[in-house]
Amino acid sequence: PDDEPDDEPDDEPDDADHLPRALESFSRGVFEVPAASNYTHPVATSQSIRHALGSERASAAPPEVGPVSLLELHDGSLGGLIVTASTMAAPTLAMAELWLRFFAVFLCPACLAWMIHGELGSWNAAGRKREEASYGEGIGGLGMAVHTVGLASSAVLLTDSLYVYQYGRGLGLSLFALSSLLTVRRCTTSSKTVGSHARTNKSGARKLFRLSTFALLVVTAVVYMRSDGGVAMDGYINRFVPSLAAATGADRAEDGPFDPLRHLPHPGIDTPTIDAGTYHSRSNEFISDVISGWPEEARAYGAESGATPYLVSGDHRTGIPFLVNSVPDQEYVRVWCPNEFDGEQVALDVAFPYSTDGEFEHDATRPVLLVLHGLNGGSFEEYVKDLVMRERAKGSTVIVLIARGMMDTAVRGWNIFHGARTGDVDAAARAVR
């Protein structure tokens, strides 16, 4: 910037003039503040910030911000493309499993109803022989998909901790047994009649259907047997397959120093034996004071205390309300908090409450909230906006910490996003304090 200010003001104010006055009193020089209308990384927008980072970093190219295509993530070779695609497959499968777990309680009954309807139709007394002859032929892509999704959904109800805690083992086991019976029957009946269709493109789909069914059954059995922490399964391996136990090291003593974390008993997944509620140490005066101001009817979250009865898990009660209801967009001012450990800049979206004249203001007498979003979220997520909207209405300033790399924020080094990273939270909390 020039050393001497301009004598005549510009006809049009620059972006810095649009920064809210509340930000000046709130930041106090702690945060890096780019233009209010510019969310770009500060290293790419401010020469003074680049100078403050030192000559080595000042000479670095500004980071690119924004999504990139799959072809830009490798060196252009076929091998690089295969490696990149394979590493991106795991998050895709994880998201698919998350959505399946989310809707399993609704998908499983619907798929089972469809499968039972097909079974009843095939056993129609008027045309039983005809139906049996065409039973395997009648299964198409839709039928395979319904059976696969139904079996996978029932497996989730049997093995997922949230559903087991809600319903116990009985419901999931019954649905899984019925889904397995109907799906295996489809597989075996289809194999008996596949001869007339082996020359068609459907034969490959049938093989994939049978393979996926077998894989689901095996994986579900393994997950179920290890739901106690693997105690029972390891015991069976040591007893009946000692050679496998020796190969996997299940019967060998632990090498190296003693690690107490590896010897803690696994809590397992089973029906809870304690009542729902809030448990705390009564000898801790601070915690007791906090609990005393908490209404007793709100200390357990269930249908008895006002929770929606058909939303049966914490996932449902968190996500579904925001899938069917929208929250108005919130106004944020983005600032950047440096992490001194590795020199990265962490984005913070600050939402100020409104004053009586419609301007942003910061009330130092009200609590300041530091909000952490989900694994793949940001300040635009519905549940985040809902919290921001409610707390702004109470007069509080709300700060949403954007995990590095999320919302297309740039990461300049190799310390990329990690779900267990606490350094950015520490840096942001210290700056806010």
pLDDT at 280: 84
* Length of the chain as a residue count: 433
| φ, ψ (nearest 5 deg) of residue 429 | -65, -40
CA distance 353 to 360: 6
pLDDT at 67: 58
pLDDT at 275: 76
CA nearest to 147, candidates 195, 114, 174, 102: 114
CA nearest to 220, candidates 148, 312, 316: 148
pLDDT at 272: 67
Residue-wise pLDDT for 284-299, tens only, equals 888 888 888 888 777 7
* Residue 15 DSSP symbol: G
Q: Which residues of the chain have pLDDT under 50?
A: 1-18, 35-38, 44-63, 125-126, 130-138, 191-200, 250-253
Pairing of strands 397-401, 368-372: parallel
Residue type, 307: A
For residue 254, the SS3 value is: coil
CA distance 234 to 226: 9
For residue 239, the SS3 value is: helix
Spatial contact of 158 and 224, defined as CB atoms under 8 Å apart: yes
